[in-house]
Structure 1
Amino acid sequence: MAPVDMEARAHAGHPEELRLWLRMLTCTQLIERDLRSHLREQFETTLPRFDLMAQLERKPEGLRMSELSRRMMVTGGNVTGVTDQLEKEGLVERVTDEDDRRAFRVQLTAKGRQEFHAMAQAHEEWVVAALGGLAPEEIRTLHQLLGKVKRHYLELETT
């Protein structure tokens, strides 16, 4: 089903919470579709590649594959495939883990950092444009409300 159609699943008789969830899902999918398109057109890359590089940018010392998989919420096989591609292009490298010499960490190369910074700057501009229909106060309010939803959900997970 196309992202725009997600809200069509609910009608006025459904709980407001369900309708809100479908609205959030639709908005997320629309923005993500736009980001994927921009990344492909301007950088000839994919969102999973961008996401993996973003994780590595946050951890200059590198991350183990299992940690990358956990942070990206994808299978180890997905991370391995993306890492292999990025390594062939000289954007990441595998280095021996100092804590466990049998394991390795993946880290950005200098070329990878440079390419990621260009993508990250463009990505930020695209997200700002995507949310440009909201006033600054509306953005703050929405951010606070979604934070409340997140906290509530995390509390439910621990009970």
Structure 2
Amino acid sequence: MDTLIQRLLVAFHHLRKKLDHDMQAMTSYPVTRTQFILLLLISREGSPKLARLAEEMNVQPSAITVLIDRLEKLNYVKRITDPDDRRSVRVELTPLGREIIHDFRQKRRGILKSYLNRLSEEEIRTLIELLEKIANGDPFDTEGKGQ
């Protein structure tokens, strides 16, 4: 089992590296990977508070402030005052930020499609089912053995 786990870890590592490389080759955004993850999170959340972003990214609020400052200078995000709590600041994507996220998602979809073109439809279904099974399973269930 340890050998299989090691093979899986290596495969995940190579896949992530390949996806990162292919995405970087197709895009030319002047942001770091962390900043891009933050943009995706803001897109998903709508207009989250800075504290929420820090919590989601598991970083100090001051680190989020620095990241948001950079993204704001690029005109990808803007700060807004929380209408329910004037002491709180929220952040949302600008039209340019939304355009970049849309472009990124289309390119990512195209890259994944090119990866999946190497598999049969049955292999794709099996892959999805297995990934869903892993994602939805209890990580502490050592007795399940695939049940």
| 1:131/1:66 CA distance change after superposition, 3 Å | farther
- CA deviation vs aligned residue, 1:115-156 (integer Å, no higher than 9, x gap): 322232223222322343223332221122122222234555
1:121-140 superposed matches below 5 A: 121-140=106-125
RMSD: 2.6
- TM (norm. structure 2) is 0.75
In structure 2, distance between residues paired with 1:139 and 1:78:
39
What is the count of residue pairs matched by the alignment?
Answer: 140
Of structures 1 and 2, the one scoring higher in RCO (CA 8 A, sep 6+) is: 2
Identity %: 29
Partner residue in 2 for 1:7: none
| 1:80/1:38 CA distance change after superposition, 3 Å | farther
Unaligned runs of 5+ in 1: 1-12
| 1:137/1:59 CA distance change after superposition, 3 Å | same
Partner residue in 2 for 1:6: none
- TM (norm. structure 1) is 0.71
Unaligned runs of 5+ in 2: 142-147
Q: In structure 2, the residue corresponding to 1:58 is in which secondary structure?
A: helix
More helix by share: 1
| 1:99/1:139 CA distance change after superposition, 3 Å | farther
